[in-house]
Amino acid sequence: MPTNYFYPHDAAAIMTSLVKQLAAESNITKVDSNNFVDAGHTVMEAGLEKVMNAISVLITRTIVESRPYNGKFGLVAKDVDAFSDRFRKISFYSKKPMESGMFNTDENTNIGTGLGENAGAGSQWEQNLAMPLEMNFFSEFAWDYEYTDVVKQLELAFESEGALVAFLNGARQNFISDLEQQLEAKNRLLVLSRMAGIKLLADSGVIGPECSVNLTKEFNSTYGTSYTTAQLLHEHRVAFLEFFLARIKNDSDMMENRTAMFHDPMVKTVSDIPYYILRHTPKADQRMIYNKRLFTEIKLSLAEIFNPEMLAGPDGEGVQYWQSTQSPYSIDVVPTLPDNAASSEVSIDVCVALLYDKDGLMSSNAYKGMLSTPIHARKGIRNEFYHMLYSLCNDFTENSILYYMSDTSTEYFVGDGTEDDFLLEGTATTIVSVKVDGTAQTAGTDFTFANNTITFAAGHIPASGKVIQVIYK
């Protein structure tokens, strides 16, 4: 395991590396305590800028191996080579079996009059080519990290092994912690976008309801109760957790089957026949990010909740909050959707977990080099700019399931400019809010509600293409 800090016994090896980089002709081949200061003078003779560049290279190499601050949402992070800057995926639609011509049946007889190329089961030259689907996942963000070197500190660093170690630890610790926190923030946004995207696509019917599971609603529907989210998390938490674990285990098992469930099947219709992209996710490829704080507060350890006997398979990572430390369970996000689909704000009261295929959600951060400024003669400083490239893949055609809790339901419609009535699929007793393209509508003025139907008033009918969001209890 790499260490998080340099120690005095590392100083000799560090100095040896610097000597090799900067003074190849030197007779100092190995540095120890006896010749450390002499080696320091040899290194400094190469010039301050070269010394700083060499140290920067040394620190940069170490970044890959050691991370004093362990950023969250690391489950989605992959090695830089896991996928290139442009991620191209070829999938194939599932084809149906063909009628047989080997047997004399009533439906596909091989005996009779008028036999031709299209008789019976069809011609042997009939084509049944594979139907590929090519998708490109390409998102990258270039970003820089700036670090300022103080020349005097470098000069003092070569006075002893301890001074050099202190100098390197200061620069290294600061750099790595900042880098790790930046990556955590980017990975957090990636996960939030996927969670909100699942909810939005499921509510609007693009993907199946099995992809977005309201545990409060499912519990009440299963047991014929009418508990609120708060009641389930406190008064009935044991029963709820048993239900939750059973649901995840069943879903995890189902994800191993090759189906059109749990993802965007990218339906394609040819000659009135629908074709689907089918996926399956073995246990070894399943990942889960969950709200660790939620379970901590109900006084159950992770060992009690996620143990091999109750949930076999998914590697998991617990996080203390999703979007804000002030509201650790909730999210409020406008997700990025595939194919530039219209997006809108998604608010979820309590997000519990995200179960997903490891190939459907991943990121990488590539170090693209460092460039430095000349030494500022008056101030004795020099700036280094480390260039990074963050790449991500958010593939909705791979399996994923969002688990959340809410006392409300959400449905989406799309206006056509003329339709004024919108019938809700679920049973609503109270309308919490109605929005058209994110703009709140006023009950009694913009719309009315009766018989489970939202009716827009004349002059307030949503225009064609406008997204209508209805939240209700």
| 244 band by pLDDT with thresholds 50, 70 and 90 | confident
Whether residue 451 sits in one domain with residue 322? no
Question: Amino acid identity, residue 195?
Answer: M
Q: How many domains does the chain fold into?
A: 2
Report pLDDT digits (tens) over 368-383. Answer: 777 888 888 888 888 8
Whether residue 468 sits in one domain with residue 369? no
456 occurs within a structural domain: yes
Q: How far apart are CA 277 and CA 94, in angstroms?
A: 6
pLDDT for position 104: 55
Whether residue 169 sits in one domain with residue 155? yes
Whether residue 444 sits in one domain with residue 380? no
Whether residue 414 sits in one domain with residue 339? no
Q: How far apart are CA 425 and CA 257, in angstroms?
A: 29
224 occurs within a structural domain: yes
Mean pLDDT score of the chain, rounded to an integer?
A: 77
pLDDT reading at 302 higher than 60: no
- Domain end point (choices 378, 407, 436): 407
pLDDT for position 173: 67
Whether residue 417 sits in one domain with residue 315? no
pLDDT reading at 403 higher than 90: yes
- Domain end point (choices 407, 441, 460): 407
Whether residue 251 sits in one domain with residue 228? yes
Q: DSSP letter at 24?
A: T
Q: How far apart are CA 277 and CA 78, in angstroms?
A: 25
Q: How far apart are CA 406 and CA 471, in angstroms?
A: 11
Q: Which of 3-12, 37-46, 162-171, 319-328 has the lowest mean pLDDT?
A: 3-12
pLDDT reading at 266 higher than 50: yes
Whether residue 443 sits in one domain with residue 316? no
The domain of 458 spans 408-473
56 occurs within a structural domain: no
Share of the chain above pLDDT 90, in %: 25
Q: Which of 62-66, 80-84, 253-257 has the lowest mean pLDDT?
A: 62-66
453 occurs within a structural domain: yes
pLDDT for position 462: 92
432 occurs within a structural domain: yes
| 365 band by pLDDT with thresholds 50, 70 and 90 | confident
Q: How far apart are CA 450 and CA 428, in angstroms?
A: 10
- Which pTM was predicted? 0.72
Whether residue 420 sits in one domain with residue 367? no
322 occurs within a structural domain: yes
pLDDT for position 163: 64
Whether residue 369 sits in one domain with residue 418? no
Whether residue 334 sits in one domain with residue 240? yes
pLDDT reading at 311 higher than 60: no
Whether residue 186 sits in one domain with residue 156? yes
Report pLDDT digits (tens) over 5-59. Answer: 555 556 666 666 666 656 555 555 565 666 666 666 666 666 656 666 666 655 5
pLDDT reading at 407 higher than 50: yes
- Domain end point (choices 407, 439, 456): 407
